Chain A
């Protein structure tokens, strides 16, 4: 069980707090600043699901329950608000997708400093979640039934951390040669200016520089579908690497913003971003993606806004109308 601690939930929560501090504080004020965090706790378990997928689930101190289904380059996150302060019981109702009603039984317990430049203590308990849980994704591409599963519970007191002024860098911009993103979003009729969309569908292609990735994996294609409507939010993500030849720039050198993509499976078809004589862009084609458990979803058309950037600048088009995103 201890080996699983590499991706500590405390560390993830602390990182989120660090980023929040970094974003809110002036740069010059970052070094030597401290911030307080917690107390908090999270209970989590990981297990093998059907059809080669893996599932992990967790309940956080914020009263949220997450289920992550991962496999074959896809990640699907289901989240619901339980509103409960987590204790020994782990409970959540995902409606037709399933429910969790489990009790944590500790077999080992250890206290130690939280580390990572923080002062405070954390308690790590390993043991089992026992009770009943079942979860089934759309069309049953991954299913789990649980009566007893190895699990862990991590809790920490109020911790005070020192912010070193250094932020971890996730994919330095200088590694990216060109990024292209197309987004179709649907908003509720009474949505306010800052409300998130009910549904957003994103296609992203990132071309890396030669020194960063080998030619046969130089382009990353990502498709994301975020559904916020209803009690359960679902975030689906697919990521595949592809050769450089899957991303073409037919307009270079004068029109580097024109791009043609033909990503590999689970994507199908192709699409093109073309500049028109009216200095706007069309994003057209039969490009589609199939998320696990869903029908293919189109990734091009007038309802998508699109934006392409290189190291010099960006070019973009606005979505022509709201649409369902399906």
Chain B
């Protein structure tokens, strides 16, 4: 069973709260940029109290705020189809309004919602009995953290075409993980795909943030050629990133990742280069290594201990 509250757009961000049984509530704040195939998103996770089946839910998102709402169905529930072979009660899709108290405000007020009523829905799924030849493996249970943690590591385009150059950097500092990936998919134009993710706990609340641009401007990622020494790369992707950073292999066994590059996630601006980051660069010729960068062993280096960190906006 699952449900959602659609809180609309606030300061340019689309705000929704999704509920999943048994007790997961995820507040998602996002916006997209169609021209650059870009998406910015922050998810806040909480365990709700109450009962989704009973239509009464309370969730505390720490410093971001809380919700305390009851579902009022509007109109008849829509019944979904069952597979011919299955027995059981038909799944129901109910639309209506969540009424009560919603008070949410992002870090630095990048979004703010305060309302007593919002549109939403509830999907009710019941136990089904279906004959199968072989047992169907059920999807693994995802923890709250897993549902909030950003997934970086490549777009569908990269997965299909493979990448001919990729730059990755990761920092784990002060309990916050920040990851960056920029890549050129094989056969695509000069614009790179650039994505960054951050994950941390604010108190007991997991917070995951992602920024993804699948069509960054030409010149965003410039690298040395395959086999060229020293291996270099410069990344300057433009908004919501700012500044630039440089990868330089100072010797065949050492490299550094430095610069002023930062990213503005919804609610958080963090640096993406510096001594706290491990980094790796891959540049291949697909006529020499046809499987692309995905199958090359990474050369992670860097990540000195540091006290530098992020700045909430």
Contact = CB atoms under 8 A, between A and B. Distances in A.
A221 B227 CA distance: 30
A269 interface: no
B177 interface: no
A314 B191 CA distance: 20
A310 B286 CA distance: 10
Interface string A298-321: 000000000111101111111010
A316 B188 CA distance: 8
Contacts of A320: 189
B283 interface: yes
Nearest to A310: B287
Contact of A318 (B164, B188, B192): B188
Nearest to B292: A313
Given A254-B226, A277-B222, A280-B184, A318 B189 contact: yes
A26 B190 CA distance: 40
A161 to B, nearest CB: 39
Contact of B290 (A254, A313, A317, A318): A313
B222 A316 contact: no
Given A254-B285, A256-B287, A317 B225 contact: no
A295 interface: no
Nearest to A311: B287
A278 B285 contact: no
Contacts, number: 74
A255 interface: yes
A310 B225 CA distance: 19
A279 B182 CA distance: 12
B117 interface: no
Contacts of B288: 253-254, 256, 312-313
A125 interface: no
A257 interface: yes
Contacts of B189: 280, 318, 320
B187 A316 contact: yes
Q: Is the interface of A mostly helix, strand, loop or mixed?
A: loop
A276 interface: yes
Contacts of A276: 190
B287 A308 contact: yes
A313 B187 CA distance: 13
B286 A278 contact: no
B62 interface: no
A255 B225 contact: yes
A280 B192 CA distance: 10
Interface in B101-146: none
Contact of A312 (B188, B228, B287): B287
A318 B189 CA distance: 7
A277 B287 contact: no
B28 interface: no
Contacts of B280: none
Contacts of B227: 253-255
A314 B190 contact: no
B219 A278 contact: yes
Nearest to A316: B187
B287 A315 contact: yes
Contacts of B219: 278
Interface in B266-313: 283, 285-290
Interface string A252-282: 0111110000000000000000011111100
B206 to A, nearest CB: 35
A313 B222 contact: no
Interface string B188-223: 111110000000000000000000000000110111
A275 B288 CA distance: 14
B226 A315 contact: no
A275 B290 contact: no
B187 A318 contact: yes
Given A279-B164, A280-B188, A257 B286 contact: yes
A255 B285 contact: yes
A275 B186 CA distance: 12
B165 interface: yes
B168 to A, nearest CB: 15
B276 to A, nearest CB: 27
Contacts of A257: 285-287
Nearest to A280: B190
Given A257-B285, A312-B288, A317 B187 contact: yes
B16 interface: no
B259 to A, nearest CB: 17
B172 interface: no
A278 B184 contact: yes
B287 A313 contact: yes
A278 B287 contact: no
A183 to B, nearest CB: 13
Nearest to A257: B287
A278 B192 contact: yes
B190 A254 contact: no
13 contacts: A254-B225, A257-B285, A275-B285, A278-B184, A278-B218, A279-B165, A280-B190, A307-B187, A309-B287, A315-B164, A315-B285, A315-B287, A316-B187
Interface of B: 164-165, 184, 186-192, 218-219, 221-228, 283, 285-290
Given A255-B285, A275-B225, 16 more contacts: A251-B225, A253-B288, A254-B228, A254-B288, A256-B285, A256-B287, A276-B190, A278-B191, A278-B192, A278-B221, A279-B164, A279-B190, A279-B221, A312-B290, A313-B289, A313-B290
